[in-house]
Structure 1
Amino acid sequence: MSFMLFFEQNTFHIILECVLVGIATWFYMQRRKAQAKLAREPKLTREEEDALISEWQPEPLTPETPDDHFALNPRIANGKMTKEVMMDGRTCLNLASTNFLGFIGNERIESKAKQTIFKYGVGSCGPRGFYGTVDVHLDLEKDLAEFMECEESALYSYGFATIASAIPAYAKRGDIIFVDKACNFSIQKGVQASRSTIYWFEHNDMMDLERLLEEQDQRDKKNPKKAASLRRFLVVEGLYANTGRICPLPKLIEFKWKYKVRVFIDESFSFGVLGKTGRGVMEHYSIDPIQVDLVMASLENAIASTGGFCAGRSFVVGHQRLSGLGYCFSASLPPLLATAANEALSIIKEDPGRVIRLQECSRALHAGLTAALEGSAFRCREGEVLAPFRHIEVVDSSLCNEEKERLLDEVVEKAFEEGILLARARYLNDHEAFPIDPSIRVSTQSELEESELTRALEVIERAVKRV
C-alpha cells in the first residue's frame, strides 16, 4: 500500500529517471559497437602509413594570389592626400579620394586638432558608455544634430560600423526590411545582422518597391494579429556609392505613410554634398527631417575625418546608446578627430560656397567625362550630375570580369603615367548581395580649378583611346 502511494506521488520523477537511464544505456551500447567496429578494421603496416604520409599534400590556407594582383603591387603615397599627392615619387592630381570639400590639409582644422592632442592626448581609451566620452564628443553630437535640424545625434568611431550597427539596433528577427539592390556593403551587413526578412527591390525602381509593399500589405490583411506587431523598415542611400544616383526621397516618404514603414537613409556620400548648405538629400528635396526616421552618415568623405553619426528624434537616437553594438562596445572616436570633424562642420556653415563649388565641379565632371569617353570602349555608369564622382565601366558586356578589370587597370596606369591619379572601385565580389560590374571611380572636389579638371579629362580621354 505504501509503495503504491509512493509511486503515485513520484510518478513524474520515476518516469524521468527511467528515460535518462535508457538514454545512458543507448549511448553506452553505441560506444561499444563503435569500438568493436574499429577493432575489426584492418590495421595498416608501418610501411603503408609512411607511404600515405609521403603522398599527402596539405591544401593552402589561402587561395593562390597571382603575381600581378593589385594588392601585391601597391603604390606608395608620401604626404597628405590633398588635391595634389606625391605617389611613387610622382606628383599627381588626385581624382581618387573622396575628399569632396578639400578639408584634408586644411590649416585651420589641423591647428584645432593639434590643440586637442595637447589637452586630451591621442585616444579616448574606452567605449562611450564607460569612460570614453569627452566633452568634444558631446559638442560634436550637438552641432551635428543642429546642422541636420534633428533633435539628437549619436557619434560612432568608425563609418562602416555606424551603418552596420544602426540597422540591427532596431530591426530584429521577424521584422521586414525593404532594401535597394544597389545599397553599399555596410548596409548589406547591417540588414544581414538584423536577421530580419529582407525584400530587395530594383535600384531606384519605385514601381518594383510599391509592388513589394503592396504584397506585404495583402499579407498583413490576411493576418491582422501578426501585422499589429510587425515592424517594417525601408533602407536606402541618399546618394548611392555604387551608381552615383540620388534616391527619390519624396516618393519614399509617400510610401512611408501609405504603407506604415520606417525610413532609414544612409547619407555617407550625400552629407556635405547635396543641398544648398550640404545637409544632404533631405535639403536637396526640401523635406522636413522629421519625416525621416533615422539618418546615418559617415564622417570619412566630405568631412575628411573618421567615424560616423546617426541623427533623428531623441527617443530613436537614444535607443542606440544601449543597443548599437558599434556604439556600446567600440572605443570612442579619438578626441582630435572629433574636434577636426566639428571644425570642418563649422567651415561648411561659415562658407556654404564650398558646397556650391563642389556641385559646379560635379556638373563639369559629368559633362566632361561623358564627352571624353564618347566613341571609346568605355562609358559612364548612369548617375546624377550633382554626384561628385562618376564610375567608368567597359561597354562590351560580353567580356568576363577579369578582362574588364584588365582594361580598367590599363586606363588607371596610363592616366598615372601622365600625372592623374584614378582609383579602381574594389568590391568583395564573393560577399556582395548582387554582382557589381568592375569600374573606375573618378572623384572631384571643391578645390579643383577649371584648368586642372580640364587637364585631367584630357588625360583620361587619351588613356581610354590608347587602351
Structure 2
Amino acid sequence: MPESECVQCPRESPERETLQGSLGQLPPSIQPFPADWPLLRFLISLYRAPAYHLILEGILILWIIRLLFSKTYKLQERSDLTAKEKEELIEEWQPEPLVPPVSKDHPALNYNIVSGPPGHRIVVNGKECVNFASFNFLGLLDNARIKEAALASLRKYGVGTCGPRGFYGTFDVHLELEERLAKFMKTEEAIIYSYGFATMASAIPAYSKRAAFLCQKGNPRKARVTRRFIVVEGLYMNTGSVCPLPELVKLKYKYKARIFLEESLSFGVLGEHGRGVTEHFGINIDDIDLISANMENSLASIGGFCCGRTFVIDHQRLSGQGYCFSASLPPLLAAAAIEALNIMEENPDIFQVLKMKCRQIHKALQGTQGLRVVGEAFSPAFHLQLEESSGSREKDIQLLQRIVDQCMNRNIALTQARYLEREEKSLPPPSIRIVVTVEQTDEELAQAASTIKEAAQAVLH
C-alpha cells in the first residue's frame, strides 16, 4: 500500500496513548484490563474525580435509593387490646346524635299557616293581614291575566313535563320564554331553569371546571389565566343595599375577571324598565358576563333564568346540572312568566310607583325606638335590626319575634329573616324583613310603619 494511503492504526491513536499513560498510574489490580474497555474509562474518571465530588454523588445515590424503597406513610404503633378492654371502650362510647337537639319553640317548627293566595292581603293562621312578607314586588301573584294564561297553558300541555330539557322536556313555550327574556334584557340568549335556587347553583359550577369558559373559543391557555369570577348580588338579600357595579366593572377589566350578577331582587325592580342593576347604573350589558335571576319574585312564577352571550349560555346547556338533569319547568309556569313580561313591558311606570312606595315606608320607619333601618331607600326588601343587641342571639330573635307577633295581631304580616346559621360564613344580625309591593296603598304603608313603631316601643321600652 502506498505511504500516502496509509491510515493510522488504532493502537497508535492519541486517545490510546492517553489511556495507556493513565493506565500506568492505576493500581496493579486493574492493569491487566484492555485500556479501551468502558469499565476502565469509568474507573479512570472515578480515580481522577475530586473527593468532595465523589462524596456528594454518593449521598445523592443513597438518598434516591431511600426514596425508592421507603414507604410514604408510617403505620401508627398501637398495642393490641384485650377483649375486656374492648368491651369497656364500647360501653363507654356514646354516638353523636343523628339530629342536633332543637327546642320545641324553634321558629322552624312553628309554622304560620296560609289560607289562600299570598297576594296583597294574606290570611295567616285564620287572620287576614296586609302582606309585608312575600316577594310579590309587582303585585302579579294574583293577577287575572297571568292566571288566565296559566290556565290556558294547563289545558293545552297538562300539569308538568316529566323530563329534562334534553329528553322530551323542551316545549315550544320554553323556547318562547327564553327568547322573550333575552330580548327584554337585551342579551344574545337566555336559558331557563325549573327551580330558582338551582339557577346560580348550577351556573357557577358549570364555569368553574378546568378551562370551561374560553376553551370553546380554542384558547385553553388563556382560559386558565382568566378563570376568575366576581359573583355579586344586584340587591343584597341580607342587607337591602345595592352592589357597587361601576366599581366592580373597573375591577373586572383591571384584573381580567368575569362578573356573574345575581339579580333575583333587582330584576323587575331597578331601572327605568325593570332590567335591574345594569339599567339602574347605566352599565353596558356587554360588560357583564352572566346575569341570573329567579322568576319567583317579580314575575310571580317559579324557576330562574340566566342570560348573556350565546357561547356562554350554550355552555350551560351542556354543563348546567340543574338544566341537564332536572325536569323542565311546567309549561303553565312558563306561560305565566311570559304574561308577566308582557305586563312589565306594557306598564313601565310600575317601577317608579314601586320606588316611591319604598321611599315612603323607609322614611316613615326612621327613628323607630330600639330599631334601625338597614337597606337602600329604593329597595323593596330591607331590614329592621336592633340598635343594641342583648348579647344573646337567641334573645334578640325572641325580642324581634314579639314585635312580629304584635304586628300580626294588628293585621300587619311580617317575618324575620332566616338563615342556615352553621353554613353562613358571616352570619347577619337578627332582623325583621320588610317587603314592599306596588299593591300596598299609602294608607297601608302608613299603618304598617305606625304599627311597627308602637310594637317596638312596647317590646323594647
The TM-score normalised by the length of structure 2 is 0.77
Please give the alpha-carbon distance, in whole angstroms, between the structure 2 residues aligned to 1:90 and 1:74. 14
Which residue of the partner structure matches residue 377 of structure 1? Answer: 370
| Residues 261-287 of structure 1, C-alpha deviations (whole Å, 9 max, x = no match) | 111100110000000110101111112
Which residue of the partner structure matches residue 343 of structure 2? Answer: 347
Which residue of the partner structure matches residue 167 of structure 1? Answer: 204
| Residues 393-437 of structure 1, C-alpha deviations (whole Å, 9 max, x = no match) | 111145221111111111111101111000110000100121211
Contact 1:150/1:313, CA 8 A, preserved across alignment: yes
1:153 correspondence with 2:190 = yes
| Residues 287-311 of structure 1, C-alpha deviations (whole Å, 9 max, x = no match) | 2211111101111111111100000
Please give the alpha-carbon distance, in whole angstroms, between the structure 2 residues aligned to 1:60 and 1:319. 43
Contact 2:226/2:256, CA 8 A, preserved across alignment: no
Please give the alpha-carbon distance, in whole angstroms, between the structure 2 residues aligned to 1:404 and 1:398. 6
Alpha-carbon spacing, 1:295–1:108, altered in 2? closer, same or farther (3 Å): same
The one-letter code matched in structure 1 to 2:260 is F
The one-letter code matched in structure 1 to 2:205 is P
Please give the alpha-carbon distance, in whole angstroms, between the structure 1 residues aligned to 2:149 and 2:259. 36
Please give the alpha-carbon distance, in whole angstroms, between the structure 2 residues aligned to 1:355 and 1:234. 28
Please give the alpha-carbon distance, in whole angstroms, between the structure 2 residues aligned to 1:361 and 1:343. 24
Give the counterpart of 1:134 among 171, 178, 189: 171
Greater displacement, 56-65 / 235-244 = 56-65
Give the counterpart of 1:445 among 418, 434, 437: 437
Contact 2:189/2:313, CA 8 A, preserved across alignment: yes
SS, match of residue 272 in structure 2: coil
| Residues 137-194 of structure 1, C-alpha deviations (whole Å, 9 max, x = no match) | 0000000000000000000011111011111111236999xxxxxxxxxxxxxxxxxx
Q: Which runs of 5+ in 2 are unaligned?
A: 1-68, 70-74, 214-220
Which residue of the partner structure matches residue 219 of structure 1? Answer: none
Alpha-carbon spacing, 1:60–1:228, altered in 2? closer, same or farther (3 Å): closer
SS, match of residue 366 in structure 2: helix
Shift of 1:72: 2.3
SS, match of residue 109 in structure 1: helix
Contact 1:175/1:230, CA 8 A, preserved across alignment: no
Alpha-carbon spacing, 1:131–1:226, altered in 2? closer, same or farther (3 Å): closer
RMSD over equivalenced CA pairs, Å? 2.6
The one-letter code matched in structure 1 to 2:82 is E
Which residue of the partner structure matches residue 408 of structure 1? Answer: 400
The one-letter code matched in structure 2 to 1:417 is N
1:280 correspondence with 2:276 = yes
SS, match of residue 91 in structure 1: strand
Greater displacement, 358-367 / 58-67 = 58-67
Which residue of the partner structure matches residue 415 of structure 2? Answer: 423
SS, match of residue 131 in structure 1: helix
Contact 2:206/2:212, CA 8 A, preserved across alignment: no
The structure that has the greater radius of gyration is 2
The one-letter code matched in structure 2 to 1:288 is N
The one-letter code matched in structure 2 to 1:172 is K
Greater displacement, 144-153 / 129-138 = 129-138
The within-5 A match list for 1:153-302 is 153-172=190-209, 229-302=225-298
Which residue of the partner structure matches residue 60 of structure 1? Answer: 97
Shift of 1:258: 2.1
Shift of 1:357: 1.1
| Residues 309-368 of structure 1, C-alpha deviations (whole Å, 9 max, x = no match) | 000011111110001111111111111111101111110000112211111111112111
Greater displacement, 148-157 / 399-408 = 399-408
1:104 correspondence with 2:100 = no
Contact 2:178/2:190, CA 8 A, preserved across alignment: yes
Which residue of the partner structure matches residue 361 of structure 1? Answer: 357
Give the counterpart of 2:110 among 42, 59, 73: 73
Please give the alpha-carbon distance, in whole angstroms, between the structure 2 residues aligned to 1:70 and 1:435. 17
Which residue of the partner structure matches residue 190 of structure 1? Answer: none
Which residue of the partner structure matches residue 41 of structure 1? Answer: 82
Please give the alpha-carbon distance, in whole angstroms, between the structure 1 residues aligned to 2:454 and 2:303. 38
Please give the alpha-carbon distance, in whole angstroms, between the structure 1 residues aligned to 2:83 and 2:313. 67
Please give the alpha-carbon distance, in whole angstroms, between the structure 1 residues aligned to 2:99 and 2:349. 50
Please give the alpha-carbon distance, in whole angstroms, between the structure 1 residues aligned to 2:223 and 2:125. 60
Please give the alpha-carbon distance, in whole angstroms, between the structure 2 residues aligned to 1:86 and 1:236. 35
The TM-score normalised by the length of structure 1 is 0.76
The one-letter code matched in structure 2 to 1:168 is P
Contact 2:210/2:224, CA 8 A, preserved across alignment: no
Shift of 1:454: 0.7
The one-letter code matched in structure 2 to 1:146 is K
Contact 1:276/1:352, CA 8 A, preserved across alignment: yes
Please give the alpha-carbon distance, in whole angstroms, between the structure 1 residues aligned to 2:108 and 2:392. 21
Shift of 1:228: 6.5
1:328 correspondence with 2:369 = no
Contact 1:429/1:436, CA 8 A, preserved across alignment: no
| Residues 184-209 of structure 1, C-alpha deviations (whole Å, 9 max, x = no match) | xxxxxxxxxxxxxxxxxxxxxxxxxx
Q: Which runs of 5+ in 1 are unaligned?
A: 1-21, 23-29, 177-224
Alpha-carbon spacing, 1:136–1:396, altered in 2? closer, same or farther (3 Å): same
Contact 1:126/1:330, CA 8 A, preserved across alignment: yes
The one-letter code matched in structure 1 to 2:308 is G
1:304 correspondence with 2:316 = no
Alpha-carbon spacing, 1:384–1:175, altered in 2? closer, same or farther (3 Å): farther
Contact 1:175/1:232, CA 8 A, preserved across alignment: no
Alpha-carbon spacing, 1:282–1:61, altered in 2? closer, same or farther (3 Å): same
Alpha-carbon spacing, 1:310–1:64, altered in 2? closer, same or farther (3 Å): same
